[in-house]
Structure 1
Amino acid sequence: MFITDEDYKVVIGESALKVVSQVSSENRSNAEMEAQEEIAGYLRPKYDCAALFAAEGDERNRLVVMYCCDIALYHMAASLPQKMGMEIRKERYERAVKWLEGVQAGKIVPDLPVVLDEDGEPVSGTFIYGCQKKQRYNW
């Protein structure tokens, strides 16, 4: 898996993780896969998400790992009774989404593998458009 037990220690304690995941490895695994897909939805147009999530150990981008943990914890906490601890999870989730939107808009440029075309050139995920100045024919 992309996320390990050690990665969660940065954002949540071990006993709190057991409570949030409801001591179910299946619940945790589903939340992690949902978090990866959510991140990929933002990054896929420009970055190679298969290579990003296939990386292991120190090869991984630490910020993406942290935000993946935050998003997974947010999804796990949503299923808890009375939404226990949801305030901090929601805050960290919104921060992760804000960062992903910044990356998607091109305002933040992380060190991630880019998508390459057949020639090995980076694929641009942006469109350039424009039009001529509007003409008014009022005589």
Structure 2
Amino acid sequence: MSYFLKETDYNAQIRSQILGILTNDTEDTLHLAELAAQEEIESHLRTRYDVAQIFDLDQEDADRSKLIVLYMIDITLYHLHSNITPDNVPEIRYLRYQRAMEWLKKVADAKISPNLPEYPESENPFDKGGGQFFFGGSNEKVSERY
């Protein structure tokens, strides 16, 4: 079975011996954490970007978004560490996870526009048509003093 992340993707961030300890040398643990990280990323990107194309398993390594790979590894490693010792996650893992989540929130809020494949306008399943926004509010505050 093929997965979005490759074994060699982890080499820049963690030694294989440490990764083996975190996963108890079982591939299933690693792949479950990867799938959880992918779901977390997709939940932030789904409304604007074509996540099926972003996480396409037939892509060449050069075609995969380097930022998505980086943040997916950060989120995966955070989940693996928190699986072993939830109250004692290494600070670097926690900080990198926080940075990944901040980036995803900014992308979801359209404050950042990464180079990711967007839905074609006619095929966006989240476009309700019309493109109008509803803004709520209230009347100005009125003073009852005379």
Regarding TM over 0.5, the answer is: yes
How does the TM-score come out when normalised to structure 1? 0.83
For 2:118, which of 98, 114, 118 is the aligned residue?
A: 114
Counterpart position of 2:61:
57
Q: Distance in 1 between matches of 2:54 and 2:39?
A: 12
Tell me what 2:19 maps to.
17
State the Cα RMSD in Å: 2.9
Q: Which one-letter code corresponds to 1:11 in the other structure?
A: Q
Say if 2:121 is the partner of 1:93. Answer: no
Is residue 34 of structure 1 aligned with residue 36 of structure 2? yes
Deviation at 1:79, TM superposition (A): 1.6
Where do 5+ consecutive residues of structure 2 fail to align? Answer: none
State the one-letter code of the partner of 2:81. Answer: A
Contact 1:46–1:124, Cα closer than 8 Å, also in 2: no
Q: Is the 8 A contact 1:70 1:96 kept in 2?
A: yes
Find the residue that maps to 2:24 and give its secondary structure.
coil
Conserved? CA contact 1:32–1:72, under 8 Å: yes
> How far off is 1:81 after superposition?
4.5
> Could you tell me which residue of structure 2 aligns to residue 134 of structure 1?
139
| Residues 127 and 6 of structure 1, relative CA distance in 2, 3 Å threshold | farther
C-alpha distance in 2 between matches for 1:108 and 1:64? 14
Of 87-96 and 45-54, the range deviating more from structure 2: 87-96
Work out the CA distance in 2 between the residues paired with 1:121 and 1:37.
Answer: 19
Q: TM-score, normalised by structure 2?
A: 0.79
Query: Aligned residues, how many?
Result: 137
**Displaced runs of 4 or more, over 4 A:** 81-85, 120-127, 135-138
